[in-house]
Amino acid sequence: MKLLVDAGNSRLKWRLDDQGRVVSKGIGALDEPEWLAGLGPFADKISGVAVSTVASEGRRLDLASQLARLTSAPVRFHWAEPQRSGLVNGYTDCQKMGADRWHAMYAAWRRSDQGVAVVDAGSAVTVDYVSAGGQHLGGFILPGLQMMVRSLRTDAARIGFDPSQALDTTPGLSTTQCVNHGLAWLTAAMVGRIHDDVKRAGLRQVLVTGGDADRLVGLGLNAVVARELVLDGLALIDEEDQRP
């Protein structure tokens, strides 16, 4: 069985695959060993570990140590690449791209025979465009919902509000409404720009992943929700790399 790990700056998702069948999966925090608890019964059956991470080097080393205590199976970290199977990275220096973006793009590229937009709505929102010919056309990185909420709480401390997942974009009639509707208004504007870009570039599909994927769809994003797109791409790449 193969353990797949998508590790962000503080939290991670994992999935245990057995020849394409999902045996178990979960989420956890990088600095808490409890996320390993669900893997205990399978530890001696893990044949390999594949990791996609954007965490700092210190956290990456901590993660490697946790995995080494769990299993003696080899641990492989996968990063962004210049190209793979027709998908060409638009970055001049691909090492500057977050691994999660590349792995999500690769999964999208492999499942779509047309140009595709890939939206990852996590702590930050990333948007990447891939042409029908496999050329990465570039993208955007924006603050996600929780990041914007934290910013308002920290830098505008006198603005008292109760955060929510509001999808209402009408003008607010209280401070709480003004904040929550304002965040939805900003997100809806982003959704409109994505649709414009997709049309302009002649792309045929939008895939969205990440914790706020449903919120973006609720605010009008015309997309297919692919909840584990990063892990899907990681699985494909690790399998390809292990072929003789």
Write out the catalytic residue numbers: 100
Per-residue tokens: 82? 């210049």
User: Is 155 annotated in some ligand binding site?
Assistant: no
User: Is 9 annotated in some ligand binding site?
Assistant: yes
Going from the C-alpha of 207 to that of each of 173, 181, 198, the distances in angstroms are 34, 25, 12
Per-residue tokens: 35? 């996320």
C-alpha to C-alpha distance for 51 and 14, rounded to whole angstroms? 9
Q: Which amino acid is at 140?
A: F
User: Is 93 annotated in some ligand binding site?
Assistant: no
User: Is 65 annotated in some ligand binding site?
Assistant: no
User: Is 89 annotated in some ligand binding site?
Assistant: no
User: Is 37 annotated in some ligand binding site?
Assistant: no
User: Is 50 annotated in some ligand binding site?
Assistant: no
The conformation of residue 135, written as its DSSP 8-state character, comes to B
Instruction: Compute the chain's Rg from CA coordinates.
Output: 19
User: Is 180 annotated in some ligand binding site?
Assistant: no
Give the distance between the most distant pair of CA atoms in the chain: 63
Binding region for ATP: 6-13, 123
Binding region: 6-13, 91, 98-101, 120, 123, 175
Binding region for K(+): 120
